[in-house]
Amino acid sequence: MAEAERIIGTPDTPDAAGAGRQRPGGNAGRGGPSGAEGAQAPAGGPGADGTAAGADGTSGTPSGADGRASAAERPRGRRRIAVLFTVAAIAYALDLASKMLVVAKLEHRPPVQLIGDWLQLEAIRNAGAAFGFGEAFTVIFTVIAAAVIVVITRLARKLYSVPWAIALGLLLGGALGNLTDRLFRAPGVFEGAVVDFISPKHFAVFNLADSAIVCGGFLIVLLSFRGLDPDGTVHKD
C-alpha cells in the first residue's frame, strides 16, 4: 500500500518539486513586481529627488548666471577704475617731469623758440588759476582742486565707461599736478605758484596739467552731449 502510494504519488513529486522550485521563482515573480516597485521606487524616489534637485539646480542656474554676470561686471568696473587712475598717473607724471625739467633748464633764461614766434617755451611762475587767471585767489583755487580730486575719487566707484574714465583721469592728473605746485612750491603751502612754460603767440602761458584739465573737461562735455553717463548707460532727451 505504501508502495502503491509511493508509485501513485510519484507523478506529483515533480509538481511538488516544481512548486517548491516555483516558490523561489514565484517569490521572485511576486518579488518581481516588488522588484519593479523597488526599481520604480529609486526611480521615483531618488530619481525624483534628483530631478527635483536638478530642477532646483536648474532654477538655481539663473542665480548662478546672475552671480557670474555680477562677477563679470565687477572686474569690468575695476578695469574702468584702473583706466582712470592709469590716465591720471600718466598725466601727473608727465606734468611733474616737465615742470622739473623746465625749472632746471629754462627758468631765468631766455625763451626757447619751437615754431618761430608762434610757439615757444618760457618758464614763469603763476599764482592764479589755469592760464594765469585769478592770481588773487590762490588759496581758493587750491581748495577747489582738492575738492575736484575728492569728487572724482568718489565717482570712480560707479564708473563703468571707458571714455568717462579717460576724461576723469585727465581731470584728476591735471588737478594733482597743479595742486602739487600749490602745496610744495614757493611762497608757501596752499599759496605756491604753478610752473607754466608753454607759450603760444597771443595766448596765455600754460602747462601740461592745464592741458589735461581742458581736454578732460571738453571730453566730459562731449560725452554729456551724446547722452553717455559715467555708469555706462546711454539716455536720450
User: With bands split at pLDDT 50, 70 and 90, how would you rate the model's confidence at 203?
Assistant: confident
Digit-coded pLDDT (tens) for 30-45: 444 444 444 444 444 4
**pLDDT (tens digit per residue) in 110-162:** 999 998 889 999 999 987 655 555 554 567 777 888 898 999 988 888 899 99
* Cβ neighbours of 103 (radius 10 Å): 15
Mean of pLDDT values over 14-37: 43
Count Cα neighbours of 228 within 13 Å in the Cβ-side half-sphere.
15
Residue 75 has pLDDT above 50, yes or no: no
The strand pairing partners of 190, in sequence order, are none
- Collapsing DSSP to helix, strand or coil, 9 comes out as coil
Residue range 202-214: mean pLDDT, rounded: 91
| Phi, psi values for residue 202, rounded to 5° | 60, 35
Note the residue count of the chain: 237
pLDDT at 169 over 90: yes
Q: Where are the beta strands (DSSP E) in the chain?
A: 112-115, 119-126, 194-200
Give the pairing of strands 194-200 and 119-126: antiparallel
Which three cell numbers, joined as nine digits, stand for 226?
Answer: 551724446
d(CA 131, CA 205): 6
Catalytic residue among 95, 181, 196, 237: 196
Instruction: Tell me how far the alpha carbon of residue 189 is from its chain's centroid.
Output: 36
Give the CA distances from residue 182 to residues 21, 22, 35, 146, in Å, rounded to whole numbers and listed in that order.
Answer: 107, 106, 89, 11
- Asked whether residue 1 carries a pLDDT value surpassing 90, the answer given is no
Establish whether 210 is a catalytic residue. yes
Residues 90-124: tens digit of each pLDDT: 999 999 999 999 999 999 899 999 988 899 999 99
Residue 13 in this model has a pLDDT that exceeds 50: no
114 neighbors 121 (Cβ within 8 angstroms): yes
Does residue 117 carry a catalytic annotation? no
Region of 199 (left: φ > 0; alpha: ψ -120 to 50; beta: rest) is beta
User: Is omega for the bond preceding 110 within 30 degrees of 0, making it cis?
Assistant: no
Report yes or no: 182 and 190 within 8 Å, Cβ to Cβ. Answer: yes
Over residues 49-63, the pLDDT tens digits come to: 444 444 444 444 445
Q: Which of 210, 229, 231, 237 is catalytic?
A: 210
**For residues 106 and 121, is the Cβ–Cβ distance under 8 A?**
yes
Name the residue among 169, 204, 183 with its Cα closest to residue 139.
183
Q: How far apart are CA 192 and CA 216, in angstroms?
A: 24
What pLDDT, on the 0 to 100 scale, is given for residue 133? 56
